[in-house]
Structure 1
Amino acid sequence: MRRVVVWAFLAAALVFPVRAQNFEVWAINYWVIDQFFPKFIQEWNQRNPNAQARLIQFENDPYKQRLFVALGAKSGPDVFYNWGGGVLESYVKAGAVEDMTSTIDPAWKNRFLDLMWRGVTFDGRIYGVPSTELQPVVWFYNKAVFRRLNLQPPQTWAQLLSVVDRLRGAGVVPIVVAGGSKWPLLMYQEYLVDRLGGPEVFENITTNRPGAWRHPSVLRSAEMISELVAKNPFQPGWESAQYGTGTVRALFATGRAAMQLMGVWEFGALVNEHPDFVKSGDLGWFAFPRVEGGRGDPRNLAGNFTNYFSVSSFARNKPAAIRFLRELSLSDDYVRFLLRNGAIPPTKGIQALIRQEGAYPDWQSFVYGLVEQAPYYVLSWDQALPPQLAQPYLDNLQLLFLRRIAPQEFVDRMQRLADGLR
C-alpha cells in the first residue's frame, strides 16, 4: 500500500510541477538600489525560475513604519533593507529576523571591513549582511563661497562657530538642514556627545544604564546646540524642510548656503541632481571638528556603518533569500558599480581599486580613510536606540533645536523616557 502511495505522489509531481517559491525584497528608494538592483534581480530571476525575486521600494520615512507593522505581523518582506542597530535588534528580540550566523562562512565575512558587522551582530549572532556603501557623516562645504570670504574649513567647534558668524555677516546662509525630517538634526548631537565624552557615554545610553542621559556630555551637547541655533545659522523655513525634496541640497549647490552636515550619501545625490556643481570642483568636505577640552578622539565617526539586508524568520524561501544576498555581497560588479558612481563600498582592501575605478577617487579615498582609521564609530542614534525611544528622541531633539525646551529639560525628558523602559 505504501508503495502505491509513493508512486501516486511521484506521478502527481510529474503532472503538477513544484510551485515556485518566490520571495520579496523590500527596500527604500535609494539611488544604489534604483540603478543596480533591477538588472541584478533580472539576471537572478533568469537563473532561478523557481525562486523569483521581486523588488518593492518605499520612500525612506514611510518605509520604516511599513516595515515595523509588517514584521510585527510576521508578514510582508522575505528580505528587507535596514540600518542595523537597536531597531534591528528589537525585531530580532521579537523573533522576526533569521539568524544567519551559520551560513556566513569566512570568505563571506572577510569580504567586509570588520567594523561593518557590528550593526547586525547581537549576542555574538549575525542577523544581516552589509549591502550598500560606507555612510559616515561629514561636513560638506561650498569652496567658492569659502574662497570669496577667505575662509578655511574649521578644525575645532569654536572655529566652526566663528565661520558661521562670518558667513551670516556676509549675507550667506551658513548651514542648510532639513529640520522637518528631524533625523538630520541628530548628527550634531551624536558627534558632540562623542567629542565631549568619548564612546562610553552613548554606550551607556544604548544599554540603558541608570542615569546615562544625565551624563554631563549630554547636557553640554544640548547647550552647544542651543548656542549654535542662537546664531541663526540655518536657512529660512528650516523647521519644516524635508530632506527628500532636495530643496535643501539645491540651496547648498547653488552657493546660497555654505555648509551642510550630512551622510556621505549626499555626494551621490549631488552628482545626480547638481552634476555641474560637482564637476566644477567647488564641492569640498571635512571631518567633524574636535571640541576643545573634549575626551573623545577626533578620529571617531558617527553615522550609519552601511545599509544592511536581513532575512525575515518567516521568509517563504530562506535558502534562496540567503543565496541571493550572498551573490549580491560577493559580486565584483557591485563593488565596481559603487566605485564608478562615487560611492565607497564597505569592502576590505580596495584602496588601489578606488584609485583605478573610482569616479571621484579623492572623495572616495577620503571617506575610506576616515573609516579605516576610526578608533570608534557611533551608529546613528535613531537606529542604535530601541524604537520606543528613537522617535521620542527625535521629537524632543527637534524641540531643542526650535528652542521650545531648554537643554536641561531635554535631558530630563530623555532620562524619564529611558527609565520607563527599564
Structure 2
Amino acid sequence: MKLKKLVSLLLIVTLMIVSLMACKKGGDTQKTSSTPTQEAAGEKTAETKEAATEADTTQEAATEAQTEATDTAGGKLQVPDKDITITLWDIATEDPANGIQQGAVDRFMKDHPNVKVKTTHIQNDTYKEKLIIAMSSGQCPDMYMHWGGGPMNEYIESGFAVPLTDLMNNYCEIDFLDAAIAQSSYKGDIYAVPYGGIGGSGIFYNKTIFSKLGLQVPATISELETVANTLKENDYIPFSLANQNKWTGSMYFMYLAARYGGVEEFNAAVDGTGSFESDAFQYAADTIQKWVKAGYFPDGVNSLNTDDGQDRGLMYTEEAAMMLHGSWQAASMKNDNADWYTQNIGYFAFPKLENSKADQSIVVGTSIGNGFSFNTGDDQDKLKAAFVLATQYYNDDTYNKAQLAAGTIPSINGMGDTIQDPCMQQIWKDFSSASNVQLWYDQYLPPAVSEAHQSTCQELFGLTMTPQEANKTLQDAMAKYLAE
C-alpha cells in the first residue's frame, strides 16, 4: 500500500515538472514575439502566480515522496538519523531470556549507533510495583513490557501508551497470531508489539518416577488425585509449588474454575452479571484446600519463591513429581540441565473434570506472552526508533530462533511447526487446539482486583481463609471496582 502511494507521488511530481517546463517554454516564446498589453501583462502575472503555486505544490509533493521513501526503504520503517535515547524496562533478569532480549538491543544499537537504549531488567513481581511507581512519579520508561489485559488497559487510560495501529498496519511485516494482536489491542486500536511468545500452562512431570511407580498420565481430575495419592504413599511430594509469589498458586484456582464453569463464569463475574462466589469458584477453592489437607504440596508452600527456582529445585532433587506451571519453565529447566530435562521431564494438559458441561480444551495462559508499549508522547522520532527495535529486532529470525531453542514459541503463525522439544510440541498442540485461552486472572483483572485474587489464593493454600471467605473477599474487590 505504501509502495503504491510512493509510486503515485513520484509520478505526480514528474508530470508537474514536465507541465511547468512546458508552461515556461510557451511563455518565453510569447515574450519575444510581441510587446504585451496591460491586459496581457495581467494575464501573464496570473499565469506566473499559478506557476509559482504549482511549483510550491510540486515541492511539497517531492518532500512528501522523499519522506515516504525514507520511511519505507526496503519495505521497513527507518530509524531517524539523529541522536535518540530510549529507556527500556523488562523482566529478563535470568538467562536464557536475558541473553536473548539483550542480544536484540545490542544488535539494534550496533546497526543504529545514533540510538542509545538504556535497559533495566527487574524481577517479575517487583517489576509490576516499580512500573506503577514510575508512572505515578512521571518517570515511566519510553518502552516497557507488560502482559496485556486489565493492567495494559489502565496504562492506556492513564496516558502511558500511544496507539500503534497505523505503524502496525503499514510497517509491520510479522504475521502475528490473531489472538496476539487481539490481546495487544484496546477499544479498536493496537497499543503493544508482541515479542515474548505464547504462555500456556500445564503439568510438567517426572517420567522416571511415573515409570518406577507404574503410573499413567492422568486424563481426568479423579485420575490426577489417584496419581497424587500414590505419589504421597511413596514419599514423593505430588506437586512442587513455590507460592510466596501468589500467582503460581492461582494457576490451580484458574484451571479448576475453568474446568467447572469454562470462561463464561469468569467473564460474568468480571462484568458484574455474575459473581466470584458462584459454584465454579466455590469448587476451585474447595478443591485447593482438599489437596492442601491431603499433603499434595510442599511444607511451607507460601514461603517458597519461584523467582529463586525453588519449585524447580524440588523437581531436580526428585522430591516432587509434578509441577503445574507456565510453559516457560521448559526453557528454564533445559537451561539448568539439558540432559536431565530431556531424560526425565514430560508434560500433559491439566486434566478434564468429569461430568462438567464446560469446554475441557480451555488453556490458561496468554497468546501475547509479553508486549512492548511506548510512552513516547509526541516524540515521533523516538517512537519510530522504539518501534523498529520491537518489530525488526525482537521479532527477527535471530531472535525467533533463539526463542525456539530456549523453549519459547513466538506468537507468530507457523512457529509451532518447527519445534523439536517433545514437551513444547505438546504445549503447542494443546494451545492450538484449545477452543479458548483464559488469560491469567492477574493480567486480565484490574490491579486492585488482581491483588485481591492473588492474596486470597495464597490464603487458601495457607488454610488461613475458608473458601467462602476468600471468594467473598475477591467478589467485594470486584464489586468495588465496578462501582467506582
TM-score, normalised via structure 1 length: 0.90
- 2:460/2:470 contact within 8 Å kept: yes
Shift of 1:37: 2.7
* Alignment match, 1:21: 84
Which ranges in structure 2 are unaligned for 5 or more consecutive residues?
1-80
Counterpart among 301, 309, 313 of residue 250 in structure 1: 313
- 1:225/1:401 contact within 8 Å kept: yes
1:94, 1:330 → 2: CA distance?
28
1:300, 1:376 → 2: CA distance?
5
1:253-290: per-residue Cα shift (whole Å, max 9, x none)? 221110000001111111122333113x2101100011
Structural mapping, 1:212-251, within 5 Å: 212-251=275-314
1:187 aligns with 2:230: no
Shift of 1:153: 1.3
Counterpart among 332, 336, 340 of residue 269 in structure 1: 332
1:373, 1:106 → 2: CA distance?
31
Structural mapping, 1:49-68, within 5 Å: 49-68=113-132
Shift of 1:343: 2.1
Between the two structures, name the one with larger relative contact order (CA 8 Å, sep ≥ 6): 1
1:288 aligns with 2:350: yes
1:389, 1:212 → 2: CA distance?
13
Shift of 1:83: 0.9
- 1:44/1:52 contact within 8 Å kept: no
Counterpart among 354, 379, 387 of residue 439 in structure 2: 379
Which ranges in structure 1 are unaligned for 5 or more consecutive residues?
1-17
* Alignment match, 1:3: none
* Alignment match, 2:455: 395
| SS across alignment from 1:56 | strand
1:371-397: per-residue Cα shift (whole Å, max 9, x none)? 221110011111111001111221111
1:324 aligns with 2:389: yes
Greater shift, 307-316 or 91-100, is seen at 307-316
Shift of 1:74: 3.4
Shift of 1:63: 0.9
Q: CA RMSD in A?
A: 1.9
- 2:328/2:407 contact within 8 Å kept: no
Shift of 1:210: 4.3
- 2:237/2:319 contact within 8 Å kept: yes
Q: What amino acid is the match of 1:392?
A: A
- 2:277/2:468 contact within 8 Å kept: no
1:243, 1:141 → 2: CA distance?
17
* Alignment match, 2:264: 200
1:350, 1:20 → 2: CA distance?
36
Counterpart among 99, 110, 114 of residue 46 in structure 1: 110
Percentage of matched positions with identical amino acids: 27
* Alignment match, 2:49: none
1:162-218: per-residue Cα shift (whole Å, max 9, x none)? 1111111111111110111111011011111111111111122333x1442122111
Q: 1:211 to 1:365 in 2, by over 3 A?
A: closer
Q: What amino acid is the match of 2:327?
A: V
2:370, 2:378 → 1: CA distance?
20
2:468, 2:169 → 1: CA distance?
48
| SS across alignment from 1:189 | helix
1:167, 1:330 → 2: CA distance?
42
1:7-49: per-residue Cα shift (whole Å, max 9, x none)? xxxxxxxxxxx97221011111143441123332222112223
Counterpart among 341, 345, 349 of residue 410 in structure 2: 345
Shift of 1:294: 1.7
- 1:22/1:52 contact within 8 Å kept: yes
Q: What amino acid is the match of 1:127?
A: Y
- Count of aligned positions: 398
1:302-356: per-residue Cα shift (whole Å, max 9, x none)? 02331111111448611211121121354112111112222222210234433xx
- 2:292/2:461 contact within 8 Å kept: yes
Shift of 1:113: 1.4
| SS across alignment from 1:201 | helix
1:128-158: per-residue Cα shift (whole Å, max 9, x none)? 0111122101100001111111111111111
TM-score, normalised via structure 2 length: 0.78
| SS across alignment from 2:303 | coil
Shift of 1:108: 3.1
* Alignment match, 1:104: 168
| SS across alignment from 1:179 | coil
Q: 1:352 to 1:412 in 2, by over 3 A?
A: closer
1:215, 1:329 → 2: CA distance?
42
Q: 1:369 to 1:33 in 2, by over 3 A?
A: same
Q: 1:244 to 1:329 in 2, by over 3 A?
A: closer
